[in-house]
Amino acid sequence: MNENALTFSNVSAGYKERVVLDGVSFAIAEGEFVSLIGPNGCGKSTLLKTAAALLKPLSGSVALFGQDVRHLKPAVRASLLGVVPQKIESPMAFTVSQIVMNGRISSIGPWGSPSSLDHDIVERSMIYTDVSGLRERFFTELSGGEQQRVALAMVLAQEPKIIMLDESIAHLDINHRQEVLQILMNLNREKRMTILLVSHDLTLSAGISDRFLLMDKGSLIKAGTPAEVLQADLLSRVYNCELRVQQDPYTGYLQVSGAQDTLRRRRKLGKTVHVIAGGGSGLELYRRLLIEGYEVTTGVLNRLDSDAEAARALNIRAVLEQPFSPVGSDAISEASTMIDAADYVILSSVPFGSGNLVNLRLAEGALNSGKTVLLAADIAGRDYTEGKAALALSKRMLSAGAVNWQTIPELMSMLQQHHTLNP
Amino acid sequence: MLLSRVLPPLQVWKTEAMKQSSTPRVCRDNSFTSKQPQKARLRIVLFLLVIPLLLALSLLFGPSGIGLPDMNSPAGGAILSLRYSRLLMGMMTGAALSASGVVFQALLRNPLAEPYVLGVSGGAGLGATISILAGSSVILSLSLPVVAFVSAVLTLMVVYGIARQGSSGQPSVYSLILSGVIVSSICSSIIMFMVSTASVEGLHNVIWWMLGSLQPVSTGQQLLSLGLIVSALFGIWLLSPRLNALALGREMAHYQGVHADLIIVSGLLCATLLAATAVSLSGMIGFVGLIVPHVMRALFGPDNRRLVPLSALGGGTFLVLCDAVARTLMAPVEIPVGVVTALAGGPFFLIILQRRMKQAWIA
């Protein structure tokens, strides 16, 4: 049997004015166990919906065992393909056996009631997923794990050749997750059932899948064996965070994990950053610096400034001055003490006028006393001082060793580099 | 065959005996198969036995007194035949309203859904009001169900159209219900306006009809309505296994090989036909379409294959009984039956629903 169970040929799909899948092509052979992975919102669920003909492709075609899925009668399609959604909800008090019987719906003719064969299939599915003890319980009363097993039983009762699971195991506890995966593996090995599992647990999927499909932003970017797809640099790029792939020395399974050392380091860096901000330009800086584990101080800020509000909310020490008044000498001396205690001084993309030019002078003082000062680039566009004093000042500082920064991620890596070099 | 669909599957224990001889079947754990379905079966049998008794009982009540009328006098015969036709009117209206409620609740997966909430009754009422005020010929009584149906379908389309605005694809249940309530109140405002400007004669007809009453309509209209209601009920009964699948949502039903959109549209049409015919027969009778399905679900479970026929029977009988009370209690003055449905039925049904909370709609 080398017929493909599921074939996507250059499929684009989506919703009104929003293309979610962009030219996706792949094929899954009968009897394969495939995991579909990718970050949230990359189009995995849309792919499943398109495969099940719930969504019509904008272009391209989907075939189930060589037949275009859109031309299949619903009952035939259901006998080929079963979908276990993320969660099923039954608003009424259906019992478990009634729910599972729904899987036979397309086989029951318009006149008939379920035959004894249908009842046997329902029984078998319930035994397979270990829910037959729950048969008279109300579905709504079951735990999440039990509900998910009932949903699987319902789909098994369809007796499909392919089962697609849409993150169905994501919110199961570890015991039930193992159990459901065991059921899927048995189905796959014993009955040659083709399985497409949308999964967020890369490590778990690596252990059981024949093949991985990796999606990002609506496109299929890599297909292959777990070892081929689970590459640290590829995953780090797709998931936009630092990931690491290791091989378990005993089982040989691949393990994907977040880079733990960066997490741990974030506990406390022991470095203080003084932020010169204002007008809301500081908020994102404060947030990111705190997440990264820096001690943050800020000032001088106008008491009514939104950054002053943010600093108070984030419990950041700040030097404040009365609104609509020039920065007084008290505030200046307080701020320079703060800057003396800091390891770095960062200037946000705050506009400069005659009122807050003093902040820039404070930064220059810090630079002259040997501190690292980082200036947001392009000060010219934010300089409202007479005679472009701020621009001139910043040029002087840059030539004296201050550094320009463009984006916050860039700034973060600059800081990190700096204090790994100068611990 | 009908019975086999209404009653819970016998196979569960029938196969116990067959199992010994036949090829190895899946082994069943007997302890789980026993109690629950048997109880439900017993309840259904009891229900089916009680219904004819209650219907017969209703024939004993009337403004002329309690008990069978004197059959030897011509008046007695006439009284009994009048009570018969009211029984038929009540059965038709109650069955149509309840079954329509079952379908709306199943399709929208919402316990509040019923013909009134979706504006279907309001639309049918508006159509009927217009045709009542427009003329009073014989043709009118025959055209009434048709006009009511057409205007109900139009209303439903308007409601659907409004609800669909801004949503990609299918409208959400909440937007359907919200726009249904809005359209419904617009319809009733128009009815009010027309009533306030109507001539005295027309006013009388409309008011009587609006209050809701099971006064027999012309034989022609009765036959036509009977035909419409029976065929719509049959249609719904055919749909009922698929309505079960839709309880898990349109998407899941689709995955299971149900032609979901087709089922939804035909279900809505059948339910609308039922509600519109009921409105054209006996005016605006509330409560039945909402509460009877809930009570039946609490008693017999949510399986629509059973729920549709049982609700039709139960709703019809309930309305017949309410009518018996309505015409007897303050005879010769007749209380509008809609008053009795809520006043007498309300507490009774509340008790049932409270006792069987779990089996009812636990969302």
pLDDT tens per residue across span B89-147: 999 999 999 999 999 989 888 888 888 888 888 898 888 888 888 765 455 666 778 88
Q: How far is A86 from chain B (nearest CA, A)?
A: 11
Q: What is the least distance, in Å, from the CA of A47 to any CA of chain B?
A: 14
Whether the pLDDT of residue A285 is over 80: the answer is: yes
CA A309/CA A306 separation, integer angstroms: 5
State which amino acid sits at residue A198.
V
Q: Are strands A81-84 and A4-15 parallel, antiparallel or unpaired?
A: unpaired
Distance CA B185, CA B176 (A): 14
CATH for A362:
3.40.50.720
Residue A396 distance to chain B (closest CA, Å): 56
Contact B213, B336 (CB under 8 A): yes
Contact A93 B248 (CB under 8 A): no
A406 occurs within a structural domain: yes
Percent of chain B with pLDDT over 90: 19
- The predicted-structure confidence for B222-257, as pLDDT tens digits, reads as follows 888 899 999 999 999 999 888 888 888 888 999 998
Phi-psi region of A253 (alpha: psi -120 to 50; beta: other; left: phi over 0): beta
Angle at B140 (CA atoms; ends B135, B142), nearest 5 degrees: 175
Residues A10 and A73 in one domain: yes
| pLDDT at B13 > cutoff 50 | no
Asked whether residue A255 is domain-assigned, the answer is no
Residues B164 and A16: their CA atoms lie apart, in Å, by 13
**Is there a domain that residue A76 lies in?**
yes
Distance between CA A357 and CA A338 in Å, rounded? 18
Return d(Cα A112, Cα B13) in angstroms, integer: 19
- 3-state class of A419 per DSSP? helix
Question: A213 with A274, same domain?
Answer: no
Kindly state whether residues A156 and A294 are assigned to the same domain: no
* Chain A interface test: which of B2, B15, B255 (most A C-beta within 10 Å): B255
Q: Report the CATH number that the domain containing residue A156 is assigned in CATH.
A: 3.40.50.300
d(CA A78, CA A87): 19
**% of chain A residues with pLDDT over 90:** 26
Query: Quick check: B362 and A89 CB within 8 A?
Result: no
Say whether A102 and B305 touch across the interface (CB within 8 A): no
Question: Under 8 Å CB-to-CB from B282, ≥6 apart: which residues?
Answer: B89, B93, B212, B213, B214, B215, B337
Percent of chain B with pLDDT over 70: 85
Amino acid B36: pLDDT: 63
Same domain, A179 and A271: no
Tell me whether residues B168 and A82 touch, CB distance under 8 A: no
Give the residues across from B38 on adjacent strands: none
In a domain, A250, yes or no: no
Alpha carbon distance B120, B179 (integer Å): 12
Among B30, B107, B110, B256, the strongest candidate for a mutation testing the A interface, having the largest count of A CBs within 10 A, is B256
| A109 and A27 part of one domain | yes
Q: Does any domain span residue A246?
A: no
Q: Which residue has the higher pLDDT, B139 or A19?
A: A19
Query: CA-CA distance, A383 to B164, in Å (whole number)?
Result: 51
A225 with A270, same domain: the answer is no
Q: Which domain holds residue A156?
A: 4-229
Residue ending a domain, among A169, A202, A229, is A229
Domain's final residue, options A229, A252, A279 = A229
Task: Compare all CA atoms of chain A with the CA of B241 and give the residue at the minimum distance.
Answer: A105
pTM of the model: 0.74
More confident residue, B218 or A121: A121
Longest Cα–Cα distance of chain B, Å, equals: 78
Q: Chain B residues with CB inside 8 Å of A81's CB? A: 255
Cα–Cα nearest to A26, from A210, A193, A212: A212
Q: How close is the nearest chain A Cα to the Cα of B8, in Å? A: 10
- Are B107 and B269 in contact by the 8 Å Cβ rule? The answer is no
Tell the residue number behind the tokens 């590829």, with chain if given.
A234
Task: Tell if the CB–CB gap between B255 and A78 is shorter than 8 Å.
Answer: yes
Coil, helix or strand at residue A63: strand
Structural tokens at position A144: 């999440």
Could you report the per-residue pLDDT of A374-421, keeping only the tens digit for each?
A: 999 888 888 888 888 889 999 999 999 899 998 888 888 888 888 888
Q: Point out the residue among B37, B258, B305 whose CB comes nearest to the CB of A74.
A: B258
**Interchain proximity A91–B111, CB inside 8 Å:** yes
* Residue of A49, A53, A91 lying closest to B247 (CB–CB): A91
A148/A288 same-domain check = no
Complex ipTM > 0.85: no
Q: In CATH, what number does B39-61+86-355 get?
A: 1.10.3470.10
pLDDT in tens, A236-264: 888 777 777 877 767 777 778 776 545 44
- Beta strands at A194-198 and A67-68: parallel, antiparallel or unpaired: unpaired
Structure tokens at A40: 């949230």
Looking at the partner chain, which of B28, B249, B359 has a beta carbon nearest the beta carbon of A93? Answer: B359
| Domain-embedded: residue A402 | yes
Q: For residue B361, what pLDDT band results from cuts at 50, 70 and 90? A: low
Report the number of distinct structural domains present in chain A: 2
In a shared domain, residues A84 and A223: yes
Domain presence at residue A110: yes
Residue of A nearest to B357 (CA): A93
| 8 Å CB contact of A135 and B33 | yes
